[in-house]
């Protein structure tokens, strides 16, 4: 089964609306040669989405957001609905990033609500899972991944998987410069795919792309992307410089 690689930037809370067009255009320009070979996504703060969509128009770059709510509208101050994102032109949304779990009370249950709402609306959900260092060192890696998968993807069907990407992000590797080794990452990616197979069937599980995230850079992307179950990357820091992001996309195109 050959799965098209997907490299997505997660801008986090780092780029202003007035800075957005330059970064998106820089990415588009630097990755022209990889159009059609790799799915290229910039996930931006919600307020940057319109500027990102405008700058990405006519290019190979697609745009996503970093979170969405599960209700279509209503009294949810500060939240953004899937309908709003779609109306703006977004195609992807990150769900359940570890920073949302750590700082904003996101749980496996709310991940499930958000993921199902995003998929039902027609967005592609990038659902994040991953263990903390304490959990890994405490021998809880498998238990944590299984819980995040089983609860976070509860009632997600095989048909829904066309709009699902999973990102494995070991929390200890995010923004720390410490990357999981390709073997460490592959081991968890295989576990994620096996767990997914139990939820939606082995055939469908083979079609779902699983990204690695956590200090992925041009210098380490190739060896990670060479692994059997590593189908892309969710990129934080290195997505803020077009040249670095393009370097990772080049590695994906050649993997």
**Residues taking part in catalysis:** 97, 169
Q: Which one of residues 7, 10, 188, 225 is an interface residue with ligand PGA (CB under 6 A)? A: 10
Shortest Å, Cβ 8 to ligand PGA: 8
The residue count for binding ligand PGA (CB under 6 A) is 13
Q: Which is nearer to ligand PGA, 175 or 201 (CB)?
A: 175
The CA-CA-CA angle for residues 177, 181, 185, to 5°, reads 105
3-class DSSP state for residue 39? Answer: strand
- Compute the 3-state secondary structure of the chain and give helix, strand, coil in percent, each to the nearest 5: 50, 15, 35
Residue 237 DSSP symbol? G
Shortest Å, Cβ 98 to ligand PGA: 7
DSSP string, 100-137: HHHHS---HHHHHHHHHHHHHHTPEEEEEE---HHHHH
The residue nearest ligand PGA at its CB is 236
Interface with ligand PGA includes 224 (CB under 6 A)?
A: no
Length of the chain: 255
Q: Contacts with ligand PGA in 134-193 (CB under 6 A)?
A: 169, 174-175
Question: Interface with ligand PGA by CB under 6 A: which range of 53-61, 156-164, 184-192, 212-220?
Answer: 212-220
Q: Which one of residues 40, 121, 144, 234 is an interface residue with ligand PGA (CB under 6 A)? A: 234
Distance CA 61, CA 52 (A): 9
The binding site for ligand PGA (CB under 6 A) comprises 10, 169, 174-175, 213-216, 234-238
């Amino acid at each position: 089964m050959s799965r098209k690689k997907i490299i997505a930037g997660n801008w986090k809370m780092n780029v202003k609306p007035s800075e957005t067009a330059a970064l998106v255009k820089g990415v588009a320009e630097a990755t022209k040669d990889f159009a059609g070979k790799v799915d290229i996504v910039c996930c931006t703060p919600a307020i940057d989405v319109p500027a990102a969509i405008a700058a990405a128009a006519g290019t190979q770059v697609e745009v996503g957001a970093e979170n969405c709510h599960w209700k279509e509208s209503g009294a949810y101050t500060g939240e953004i609905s899937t309908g709003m994102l779609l109306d703006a032109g977004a195609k992807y949304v990150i769900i359940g990033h570890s920073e949302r779990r750590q700082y904003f009370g996101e749980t496996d249950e709310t991940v499930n609500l958000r993921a199902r709402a995003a998929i039902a609306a027609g967005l592609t959900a990038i659902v994040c899972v991953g263990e903390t260092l304490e959990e890994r060192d405490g021998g809880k890696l498998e238990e944590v991944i299984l819980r995040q998968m089983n609860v976070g993807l509860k009632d997600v069907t095989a048909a829904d998987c066309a709009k699902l990407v999973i990102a494995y992000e070991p929390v200890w590797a995010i923004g720390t410069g410490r990357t999981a080794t390709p073997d460490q990452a592959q081991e968890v990616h295989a576990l994620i795919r096996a767990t997914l197979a139990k939820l939606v069937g082995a055939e469908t599980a083979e079609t779902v792309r699983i990204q690695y995230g956590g200090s992925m850079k041009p210098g380490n992307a190739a060896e990670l992307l060479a692994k059997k179950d590593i189908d892309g990357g969710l990129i934080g820091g290195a997505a803020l410089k077009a040249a670095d992001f393009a370097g990772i996309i080049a590695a994906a195109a050649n993997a």
